[in-house]
Amino acid sequence: MVSIDTLITNIGALHTCPSNGGPKKGIQMREIGTQLNAAIAIQNGTIVEVGANDELIRRYQPTHLINADGNAVCPGFIDPHTHIVFAGDRIDEFEQRVAGRTYMEIMAAGGGIMSSARAVREASVEGIMADSLIRLNAMIENGATTVEVKSGYGLNTKNELKLLKAIELLAKGSPVTIVPTFLGAHVIPAEFKHDPDRYVELVVDEMLPLAMEWYQESIFYGQVPFFCDVFCELNAFSAEQTTRIFEAAVQLGFKIKLHSDEFTDLGGVEVGLRFNATSIDHLDVTPEPAQRLLATSDTVGVSLPGVNFNLGSRDFADARGMIDKGCAIALSTDINPGSSPTPSIPLIMSIASRYQRLLPAETLTAVTINAAYAVGLGATIGSIETGKRADILILNVTDYRKLVYEFGNNLIRTVIKNGNVIFDRTR
């Protein structure tokens, strides 16, 4: 028998969500690689074999044995678009929206993102990190094993760097993988309201170089990508301003992400594709020609239906249409204090199924292998395959579709990161 660290046995239905060398597109998103009566062998945090339960029990002698008790198993969830590093809350604004004010009206009046920026500017790095860790732990309990985390609530050099430092502290204090993103171009801060191009110059000339310097000295360097993101939207950044920021970011070595088409189509998809964006996110009002253009690329479209749900909207991104056109689609919580205050990927899967008509298998693909490619890590995580990191979920049900069917109920039993149990509901 071969000695290994860990063996997961008695898996009733294993859903491997296998990779095909890139994100899954179109009908491929329904292929989740189901194996019955399976087991997984793990050594040094890496999957060494996936196979029939009895065969792997016969061949391997584990130090740690994990019994799945006939339940369903799938890859750990990847959340590819989050804003968990912030201070305070926006409960008052939530109540205003319930009373009839729109998100954009609140933002135009100095609320929204600027409200969070004021709170961040008054908070300490340690305080922001401590509050963010609570949110991250809630995400772990809902199955997240890798989380992209953006800055963007500082909106000046000092406080954007403060948020990047908080992201690094968060990564040091948590077992999950954190992928950092610089989002200094989230909105135009109040002090630049009458000269937005001067703020763009500040982002390009000062913030981006200092952010890259931070990355190169951080624990992230050489381990995970570092992204530059821009909110290309009315009352935020134009396509021309977005282009200017991305030109500078690419020269410095950033990978590219993009907020686009949440409320207004400004041609953001075309801009993102011009810079080979790893993902373009929101896509709520993306027109059909841009959807078809996205389908010709390897860029992942990230849908954030928690935003639409939270804002009480009846209109959602056309994720069904984009998949049918051959796009690679991922899902994310977009957890943030204003438009989507939820840590639950399973809830997002449920919303996407009901309002965007995604099949359960498509939602699983969207939060595993496609989400992995949306953070530039599809080669190492997002599926249960030999040679990949052992990021694995054991559910407390035998049918994974109940993740989508039973909305509001957390069906995650065990969360395994790099072969180690980091959450177990049975303990």
DSSP string, 30-82: G---EEEEEEEEEETTEEEEEEEHHHHHHHEEEEEEEE-TT-EEEEPEEE-S-
Distance CA 181, CA 225 (A): 9
Q: 2-75+380-424: what CATH class? A: mainly beta
Top pLDDT among 295 and 102 is at 295
Instruction: Write out the H or E segment, with its range, that includes residue 223.
Output: none
CB 398 within 8 A of CB 407: no
Structure tokens at 138: 């809630």
- CA–CA separation, 263 and 286 (whole Å): 9
- In this prediction the pTM is 0.96
How far is residue 172 from each of residues 165, 169, 254, 406, measured CA to CA in Å?
11, 5, 22, 34
Burial of 18 (0-12, 13-18, 19+ CB in 10 A): middle
pLDDT of residue 427: 77
What is the average pLDDT across 335-353? Answer: 96
- Mean pLDDT, the chain, rounded, equals 96
Looking at per-residue pLDDT, the higher value among 102 and 45 belongs to 45
Average pLDDT over residues 389-410: 97
Residue 89 clears pLDDT 90, i.e. is over it: no
pLDDT at 198: 98
Label residue 395 by pLDDT band (50, 70, 90): very high
Lowest mean pLDDT among 19-23, 70-74, 98-102: 98-102
Compute the distance between CA of residue 277 and CA of residue 246 in angstroms, rounded to an integer.
10
Query: In this structure, what token pair is assigned to residue 227?
Result: 């992204």
**What pLDDT was estimated at residue 20?**
87
| 8-63 pLDDT per residue, tens | 999 999 999 999 899 999 999 999 999 999 999 999 999 999 999 999 999 999 99
167: tokens are 């992201």
The domain ranges of the chain are 2-75+380-424, 77-374
Helix (H, G, I), strand (E, B) or coil at 373: helix
Whether pLDDT at 222 is above 90: yes
Its CATH class, for the domain covering 77-374, is alpha beta
Mean pLDDT across the stretch 144-155?
97
